[in-house]
């Protein structure tokens, strides 16, 4: 490890639990603890505990906060209710994706944006560049904030037990809402019903100074439910099964939201519900009208050889026609899965394509995303 890597406020906890630490987006983060399969399975069947403190938290506050975010991002942020959240994107003027984001509305004039670690500085820079004459303040809260996720079927029960005197408000929270809570020991936190695993769960925003205490509290309260600490490897296999995109793989500046199958989050406005201009609007109008140049699809294999990110999708003559963005054996489904960009003509579910896996063609079948959906 180099001295340039940032460390989470939970670094000592990771070391104490025997985590394997790796460089990730400028941070030294745990890739695994007990093992990838055990951690993945724990989240699907019980609960997993994740350190997400490498993510960036950015406050946007002021009289023009909603209008500003509608200019800077592709969604209709003014429609987000208080204590609600919205998945959205920041795009380039050409329509490419700079980052995918979750925006939380704390008040009429106050929003908090969570950005990916690799794009944290870029998102802040773009927000400041796009501020223009809007009456808003932009503040980076990342250093003072830790983010801890409890994910899995037992997550709600565990977090409720973590709360001071128990907290029925946790059980009443709907998906993509959040609330202020008080944890045992008088620790104040914000609990959001969001996640990146395809399971139910909560993400806890706490002071960096309280992070270690919250981590230990979660492990203590979750022990009876099978909660274990989980690393980046499990998080990646879980989000792949859930068909969730990862920036730098499924999402890039060369990809539009429409190509990624996420055109629904772009609000262009209608005659009945007009919307003002926003960065990338003209390009996205054209992209929607022209149709995608490539389409993100799910792929399912029957053999044991998994397609990995970067592997080419080839035609009958061996010519490259697409590229895998993410791929791995699926612990839950028991066969290889992948996401890939292919031409629209190959995007219909049931289509068979070939992946060049280290010089050998492996057949895979186009399937609808997500690969896995939890039982309701």
C-alpha span between 247 and 116 (Å, rounded) = 8
Is residue 100 assigned to a domain? no
Among the candidates 202, 218, 241, a domain finishes at 241
Predicted pLDDT of residue 1: 42
306 and 237 together in one domain: no
Is residue 286 assigned to a domain? no
Task: Burial-class residue 314 by CB neighbours within 10 Å (0-12, 13-18, 19+).
Answer: middle
Among the candidates 220, 241, 262, a domain finishes at 241
Predicted pLDDT of residue 303: 84
Is residue 263 assigned to a domain? no
Is residue 375 assigned to a domain? yes
Predicted pLDDT of residue 166: 62
Question: Residues 262, 307: contact at Cβ < 8 Å?
Answer: no
Going from the first residue of the chain to its last (376 residues), give the mean pLDDT of each consecutive group of 10, the final group possibly shorter. 82 98 97 98 98 98 98 97 98 98 98 98 98 97 98 97 77 94 95 97 98 98 98 98 98 98 94 86 96 97 92 91 97 97 97 93 96 88
Is residue 208 assigned to a domain? yes
| pTM score of the predicted model | 0.95
Domain at 316, CATH number: 2.40.30.110
214 and 151 together in one domain: yes
148 and 237 together in one domain: yes
C-alpha span between 371 and 376 (Å, rounded) = 16
Q: For the segment 65-119, what is each residue's pLDDT rounded down to a tens digit?
A: 999 999 999 999 999 999 999 999 999 999 999 999 999 999 999 999 999 999 9
Is residue 184 assigned to a domain? yes
C-alpha span between 30 and 235 (Å, rounded) = 11
Say how many domains are in the chain. 2
Full domain range(s) for residue 40: 6-55+144-241
26 and 148 together in one domain: yes
Predicted pLDDT of residue 95: 98
Is residue 298 assigned to a domain? yes
């Amino acid at each position: 490890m180099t001295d340039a890597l940032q460390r989470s406020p939970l670094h000592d906890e990771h070391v104490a639990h025997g985590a394997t630490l790796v460089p990730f987006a400028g941070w030294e983060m745990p890739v695994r603890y007990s093992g990838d399969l055990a951690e993945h399975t724990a989240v699907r069947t019980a609960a997993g505990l994740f350190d997400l403190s490498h993510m960036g938290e950015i406050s946007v506050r002021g009289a023009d906060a909603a209008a500003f975010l509608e200019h800077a991002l592709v969604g209709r942020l003014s429609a987000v209710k208080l204590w609600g959240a919205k998945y959205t994107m920041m795009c380039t003027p050409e329509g490419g994706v700079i980052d995918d984001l979750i925006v939380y509305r704390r008040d009429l004039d106050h929003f908090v944006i969570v950005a990916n670690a690799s794009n944290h500085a870029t998102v802040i820079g773009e927000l400041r560049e796009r501020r223009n004459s809007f009456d808003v303040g932009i503040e980076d809260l990342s250093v003072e904030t830790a983010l801890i996720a409890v994910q899995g079927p037992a997550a709600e029960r565990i977090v409720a037990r973590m709360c001071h005197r128990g907290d029925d408000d946790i059980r009443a929270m709907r998906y993509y809402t959040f609330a202020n809570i008080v944890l045992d020991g008088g620790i104040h936190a914000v609990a959001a019903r969001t996640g990146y695993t395809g399971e139910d769960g909560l993400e806890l925003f706490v002071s960096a100074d309280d992070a270690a205490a919250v981590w230990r509290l979660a492990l203590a309260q979750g022990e009876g439910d099978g909660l274990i600490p989980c690393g980046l490897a499990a998080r990646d296999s879980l989000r792949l099964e859930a068909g969730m995109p990862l920036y730098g793989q499924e999402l890039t500046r060369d990809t539009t939201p429409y190509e990624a199958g996420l055109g629904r989050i772009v609000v262009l406005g209608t005659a009945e519900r007009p919307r003002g201009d926003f960065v990338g609007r003209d390009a996205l109008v054209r992209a929607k009208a022209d149709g995608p140049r490539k389409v993100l699809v799910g792929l399912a294999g029957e053999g044991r050889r998994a397609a990995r990110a970067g592997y080419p999708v080839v035609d009958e003559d061996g010519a490259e026609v697409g590229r895998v963005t993410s791929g791995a054996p699926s612990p839950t489904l028991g066969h290889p899965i992948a996401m890939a960009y292919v031409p629209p003509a190959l995007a219909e579910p049931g289509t068979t394509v070939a992946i060049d896996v280290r010089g050998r063609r492996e057949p895979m079948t186009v399937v609808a995303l997500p690969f896995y959906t939890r039982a309701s």
